[in-house]
A and B are shown apart, each in its own frame.
Chain A
Amino acid sequence: MKTVRKTTVLKGAVTGQWKSVTLASALGAAHQTGEAAVPLLIGVVIDEAVRTGAGGRLVFWIGVLAAVFVALSLSFRFSLRCGEKASHQAAHEVRTELAARVLSAHGGAAHGRLSGELANIATSDAQRVGQVNLGLPIAFAAVVGVLVGAVALLRVSVVLGLLVLVAAPVLLGLAHFLGKPLERRSDAEQDRAALASGVAADLVAGLRALKGIGAEATAAQRYRVTSRSSMEAAIRAARSRAWLDGSMLAMTGVFLAIVALVGGHLAASGSISVGELVAAVGLAQFLLWPLSIFSWVNGLFAQGRASAARVAEVLAAPPVVPPGSSPLPASAPGRVELTDVVSGSLRGVSLTASPGELLGVVARDPADAVSLLAVLAREVDPTAGSVTLDGLPLSSVESSALRSAVLVAAHDADLFEGSVRDNVAAGGSQVDEAMDAARVDDVARALPDGLDTVISARGRSLSGGQRQRVALARALAAAPPVLVVHDPTTAVDAVTEVSLATGIKRMRSGLTTIVVATSPALLAAADRVVFLASGAVVSSGAHADLVADEDYRLVVLS
Chain B
Amino acid sequence: MRELLATASGTRTWAAVGELVRPRRGLAWGALLVLLAGTAVGLITAPMLGRIVDLVGAGSSALAWPVVVLVLVAVAQGVSTAFGTSLVARLGEGMLADLREKFVERALHLPLERVEKAGAGDLTSRVTRDVQVIADAVRNALPVMARAALTIGLTVVGIAVLDWRFLIPVLLALPIHVHTVRWYGGRAVRLYASQRVAVGVQQQQLLDSIGGAATVRTFGLASSHVARVRTRSQEAVDLALRGIRLLTRFYGRLNVAEFIGLAGVLVTGYLLVGAGSASVGTATAAALYFHSLFNPINAALALADDAQAATASLSRLVGVTDGPMPSVEGRVRPVDTTIKLAGVGYSYVDGHPVLRDIDLELGAGERVALVGASGAGKTTLAKLIAGVHEPTSGSITLGGVELGLAARSVALITQEVHVFAGPLVDDLRLARPDASDEDITAALARVGALGWASALPSGLDTVVGEGGHRLTVAQAQQLALARLVLADPPVAILDEATADAGSAGARELEEAAARALDGRTGLLVAHRLTQAATADRVVVLEAGRVVESGTHEQLLAAGGRYATLWAAWSGTRS
Within 8 A of B (CB), among A376-409: 377, 400, 403-404, 407-409
Given contacts A58-B267, A197-B128, A253-B74, contact A414 B211 (CB under 8 A): yes
Question: In the complex, what residue of chain B is closest to A281 when comparing beta carbons?
Answer: B49
Question: 5 closest pairs, A vs B, by CB?
Answer: A253-B74, A465-B374, A250-B78, A246-B82, A238-B89
Q: Can you list, as one digit per residue, whether each of B360-377 has a CB less than 8 Å from chain A (1) or not (0)?
A: 000000000001111100
Contact B208 A219 (CB under 8 A): no
Is there a chain A Cβ closer than 8 Å to B193's Cβ?
A: no
- Residues of A close to B413: CB separation below 8 A: 212
- Residues of A close to B262: CB separation below 8 A: 38, 42, 65
Contact B209 A216 (CB under 8 A): no
8 of the cross-chain contacts (CB-CB < 8 Å) are: A73-B251, A77-B248, A95-B206, A245-B82, A253-B45, A269-B61, A416-B208, A465-B374
Contact A261 B67 (CB under 8 A): yes
Is there a chain B Cβ closer than 8 Å to A209's Cβ?
A: yes
- Residues of A close to B433: CB separation below 8 A: 218, 221
Q: Can you list, as one digit per residue, whether each of A403-424 has a CB less than 8 Å from chain B (1) or not (0)?
A: 1100111100110110000000
Q: How many chain B residues touch A (Cβ–Cβ < 8 Å)?
A: 176
- Residues of B close to A461: CB separation below 8 A: 348
In the complex, identify which listed stretch (A155-163, A325-333, A341-349, A442-450) lies at the interface while the others stay far away: A442-450
Q: Can you list, as one digit per residue, whether each of A75-110 has a CB less than 8 Å from chain B (1) or not (0)?
A: 011101100110011011001100110111101001
Nearest CB on B from A317, distance (A): 12
In the complex, identify which listed stretch (B16-24, B94-102, B332-340, B449-457) lies at the interface while the others stay far away: B94-102
Contact pick for B496, options A116, A223, A491, CB 8 Å? A491
Contact B288 A281 (CB under 8 A): yes
Give complex CA distance A458, B204 in Å.
Answer: 11
Given contacts A50-B280, A206-B420, A491-B527, contact A211 B210 (CB under 8 A): no
Contact B502 A366 (CB under 8 A): yes
- Residues of A close to B568: CB separation below 8 A: 493-495, 497-498, 521
Is there a chain A Cβ closer than 8 Å to B462's Cβ?
A: no
- Residues of B close to A205: CB separation below 8 A: 120, 124, 418
Contact A463 B375 (CB under 8 A): yes
Given contacts A73-B252, A99-B210, contact A557 B295 (CB under 8 A): no
Given contacts A62-B267, A234-B139, A249-B81, contact A403 B230 (CB under 8 A): no
Contact B218 A408 (CB under 8 A): yes
In the complex, identify which listed stretch (B50-58, B182-190, B547-555) lies at the interface while the others stay far away: B50-58
Within 8 A of B (CB), among A202-218: 202-216, 218
Q: How many A-B residue pairs have CB under 8 A?
A: 496
Contact B207 A46 (CB under 8 A): no
Is there a chain A Cβ closer than 8 Å to B263's Cβ?
A: yes
- Residues of A close to B574: CB separation below 8 A: 557
Nearest CB on A from B316, distance (A): 14
Is there a chain B Cβ closer than 8 Å to A242's Cβ?
A: yes
The interface centre, meaning the residue of B71, B199, B501, B503 with most chain A CB atoms within 10 A of its CB, is B503
Give complex CA distance A115, B214 in Å.
Answer: 11
Contact A103 B222 (CB under 8 A): yes
Give complex CA distance A19, B202 in Å.
Answer: 27
- Residues of A close to B572: CB separation below 8 A: 494, 497-498, 519-521, 524
Q: Can you list, as one digit per residue, whether each of B242-284 has a CB less than 8 Å from chain A (1) or not (0)?
A: 0011011101100110110011001101100110000010011
Contact pick for B210, options A49, A73, A118, A193, CB 8 Å? A118
- Residues of A close to B67: CB separation below 8 A: 257-258, 260-261, 264
Contact A466 B248 (CB under 8 A): no
Is there a chain A Cβ closer than 8 Å to B229's Cβ?
A: yes
Contact A285 B292 (CB under 8 A): yes
Question: In the complex, what residue of chain B is closest to A364 when comparing beta carbons?
Answer: B504
Is there a chain B Cβ closer than 8 Å to A267's Cβ?
A: yes
Contact pick for A407, options B81, B90, B218, B486, CB 8 Å? B218
- Residues of B close to A238: CB separation below 8 A: 85-86, 89-90, 93, 139
- Residues of A close to B418: CB separation below 8 A: 205-206, 208-209
- Residues of A close to B295: CB separation below 8 A: 289
Question: In the complex, what residue of chain B is closest to A278 when comparing beta carbons?
Answer: B284
Is there a chain A Cβ closer than 8 Å to B431's Cβ?
A: yes
Contact A247 B430 (CB under 8 A): no
Is there a chain A Cβ closer than 8 Å to B558's Cβ?
A: no
- Residues of A close to B458: CB separation below 8 A: none
Is there a chain A Cβ closer than 8 Å to B483's Cβ?
A: yes
- Residues of B close to A228: CB separation below 8 A: 97
